[in-house]
Structure formats: structure tokens, C-alpha cells
Amino acid sequence: MKYAVVLATIMLVMPLLTSAQSNDKFELNGYITNMQYVSISEMPDIIPEEFKDLLEDDNNLYNTNINFQNRLNMYWYANDKWTFSAQMRNRLIIGDQIRLDFNQQIEKSYENNGNYFNPAWNVAVGNSYILNLAFDRLYADYSSGNLDVTVGKQRINWGKTFAFNPNDMFNTYSYFDFDYEERPGTDAVRMMYYTGASTSVEFAANIDSAAQVTAALKWNINVNNYDVQLIGGMLQESDLALGIGWSGYVKNASWRGELSWYQPFENFADTTGVVMLSTGLDFNIGSKWNLQTEMMFAHLSEDKKVSMLNAYSSPSSVKDLAISPFQILGSGMFQASPLSTFSLACIWYPHQDIKGIFVSPSWSYSISDNFNASFYWQLFNGKFPNEITQEVKQQTVNSGFVRFKYSF
């Protein structure tokens, strides 16, 4: 414990002292955040004894937490061909979430998040806290002429749309986790050969915690001012993966889309495959408004169970991205002043087994050039199991977050 406290102190204070040391060869940047949050859910009909003290007089359950997060991005530009990077995400989480983690599910997930290599350590674990240090990027990048090769833990982002990304085979994440915009890295090899200023051929392959390989080729072409990507490959050694994605514009608005088909090699002729299409428009009005809309249609495999709970957790594979045959998102952002930005995002899941909506207003405020405060609210209403009793019924979970972020 003593060791952990010392380490945590060094981790949090070091960036302040060095204040983003950079020169031509080395660069260090990142941020520190403090976030307080509460999740309010309805009281289940029967309450296990250990949850009694979460209950308030208004018959709701309050799950309250404090989270400190530090990100460190380190780069070493060895020469004009080689770049090395190590990036850390370090977290101290204190609160009910950990206290109620009876099966150590959260604790385990912090040390093993589905990757082959897991350079992540719970350096201190208590009844109601976890201090976790983790490298989520660790790679070498070689670049020569038109060729770029990156080997190691990295993020491979193949998305074209903003919320639902069926083309994004290497980079599944939870849309709702706004506190981790970098998203996890994956253990991969990636090669890019640029055939023009906005065209390229790309090969990527990764390995997951079950030692399954996903590999694909992607052609990036430009047709009539549309960026188009064509994807062909194999998902987790078990599925054929085909996809097409595009982004271009219709009048003044962007039109983006992704279509993907994942079909098991075994039972190739049957209906266990998944087809997903996501498409949307985004545009700006004047100098202050930005509006976005996106919808996803999916043909799900027959054995797929439709539940709203699946929406929240990060999907284990891109095949689990669509939780129902149709979902639609609308969002807007308003820059009220250089300091203050408001936004609102809504998702509707009309499927009868979910009847779900997600509503999330947020406000971000710049306290100084590098110090930012933000407030987020997330409301889920739909049919899903209660987090304690697993009883499925129409219910609401509200979560509020206040976050301070210092970037260096």
C-alpha cells in the first residue's frame, strides 16, 4: 500500500513538475482528471442485505464514486524513420462501484481487458478502491517513403461515422464511455502504403486474449470527392469480414456510412452472420452550431438476445456492436462562447424487447487555457435487468458526472 501511494504521488505530480517536457527528440504530454459521479437507479423489489446502505429515503439506489485519471503520452523521435511511443492510462477509482464488486469482475477487467498482452497492474486494491497503472499504447513506428509500419499496442480506428462503427474491426469500444476518448489499444501489426495524397492500401492484423487473429486489407480510394474504403479479411479466425465505408458531402453536409458483413466460415450458408449498416449526416449551421444524425440497421444472427444492457458495456467483438435491428442517434453541439460548449445526444432503440432511450446533455467550460470543467448527465430508460436482482423490467438509470481536467 505504501508503495502504491508513493507511486501514485509520483505519477500525479511528475507531469506537473516537468510540465510537458518536449524537445526535438522527446515529447511528453497528457492530462490529469478528477471525476465525481453518481449513478441513481430504482430500488429493486427485494434488496440484498449488503446493498441496504446505498438506499436513500427516496427509494433510489445511489452508487457514488470518485475517479482520478492520469494520461501520459511519451514519444521518442529517434530519427526521421523511427518513432517510439509509450502511453499510460493510470486510474485511482474510489467508491461504491468497487465496494460492490463482489466477484472481482471490475478488478479483473482492469488487469485483463481482452488483449493478448496486458501491461496493466492493480498496484493497490482495497475494499473500496483500486489503483491501476496501464500501458494502452506501446509501439514502434517505421516510416520510409510512402510506407508506414507500426508494430505494437496501438489504436487502429477504421470508423467513418461517429457513433456506430461496423467497419471498425480492431477497435470496439463503448460509445457511452466519454471519459476515455483515446480508447483501448490492440496488439497489432499495421502497414500502410500511400498511393496518393488521399489514397492508400492498408494491412492490419491483431491478436486477442484468446490468441485469435483478426486480419484485414483495406483500400482507401477517393472517388468524386468521396473517401471510400473497401475492407476484406477475417475476424477472430472464424468469420469472413467484408465492408465498405465512405465519407463525402451532400451540399454543405457530410454524408458518412459503413456497411459490414461478418459471416462464420463454418455454417457459411446459414443465417448466423451479421450485416450492419450505419449512416448519418453532420453539418454546421453558422459558426456556433453543429448537428449530427446517425442510424444503424442490422441483420442480427438468429440466436442474438436483444437487451439494452448490451448497449452500455463495451462489445467484446464488432459483431456485438448492434444490440437491436435499428437504432438512431441525434446530437447537437452549441458553442455558446469560447469558454462554454453545450451538447445533447439522444439515441432511440425502438425494438419491443428494449423500448429504450438514451439522453445525455453535457456542458464543458474552459477555466483557463489548459484547465477544463465539464458536466455530463446520462439517462437510460428501457427494458433491462436490474443491476442487483437481474429482474427485467422497464426502468431508468440516471448518472451524473462532474469532471475537472488539466492538460499538459
Partner 1 sequence: MLTRKTILNLVFVSMLSLITLNIGAQTAAEIVQKANDKRLGEKSSISEMSMIIKRPTYERSLSFKSWTKGTKYSITLVTGPAREKGQAFLKRDREMWNWNPKISRMIKLPPSMMSQGWMGSDYTNDDAMNQASIVKDYTHKMLGEETVENLECYKIESIPFEEASVAWGKVILWISKEESLLLKQEYYDEDDFLIKTELGHNIKTLSGRVLPTQFEIIPADKPDQRTIVNIESIEFNPDIEDNFFSQQNIKKIR
Under the rule (CB under 8 A), what is the footprint of partner 1?
A: 20, 29, 31, 77, 83, 143, 146, 148, 154-157, 159, 181-183, 192, 194, 196-198, 200, 222, 225, 227, 247-249, 251-254, 256, 282-288, 290, 335, 337-339, 341, 366, 369-370, 372, 407-408
Of 378, 392, 381, 387, nearest to 96 by C-alpha is: 387
How far is the C-alpha of 63 from the C-alpha of 46, rounded, in Å? Answer: 17
Q: Which is nearer to partner 1, 13 or 367 (CB)?
A: 367
Q: Which is nearer to partner 1, 303 or 369 (CB)?
A: 369
Length in residues, the chain: 408
Q: List, in order, residues 6 or more apart from 81 with CB less than 8 Å away.
A: 142, 143, 144
Least distance in Å: CB of 262 to partner 1?
22
How far is the C-alpha of 58 from the C-alpha of 50, rounded, in Å? Answer: 18
Least distance in Å: CB of 246 to partner 1?
9
Least distance in Å: CB of 121 to partner 1?
24
Q: Which is nearer to partner 1, 149 or 388 (CB)?
A: 149
Least distance in Å: CB of 13 to partner 1?
17
Q: Which is nearer to partner 1, 122 or 292 (CB)?
A: 292
Least distance in Å: CB of 155 to partner 1?
5
* Neighbour count for residue 187 (Cβ, 10 Å): 19
Of 99, 119, 86, nearest to 51 by C-alpha is: 99
147 touches 109 (CB < 8 A): no
Least distance in Å: CB of 187 to partner 1?
15
Q: Which is nearer to partner 1, 19 or 316 (CB)?
A: 19
Q: Which is nearer to partner 1, 72 or 274 (CB)?
A: 72
Least distance in Å: CB of 391 to partner 1?
38
Cα angle for residues 328, 353, 293 (degrees, 5° grid)? 5
How far is the C-alpha of 365 from the C-alpha of 55, rounded, in Å? Answer: 32
Q: Which is nearer to partner 1, 165 or 260 (CB)?
A: 165
Q: Which is nearer to partner 1, 260 or 307 (CB)?
A: 260
240 touches 231 (CB < 8 A): no
- Beta bridge partner(s), residue 393: 384
How far is the C-alpha of 46 from the C-alpha of 246, rounded, in Å? Answer: 50
DSSP-derived 3-state class of residue 180: coil
Least distance in Å: CB of 305 to partner 1?
31
329 touches 294 (CB < 8 A): yes
* Neighbour count for residue 326 (Cβ, 10 Å): 13
Phi, psi of 10 (to 5 degrees): -60, -45
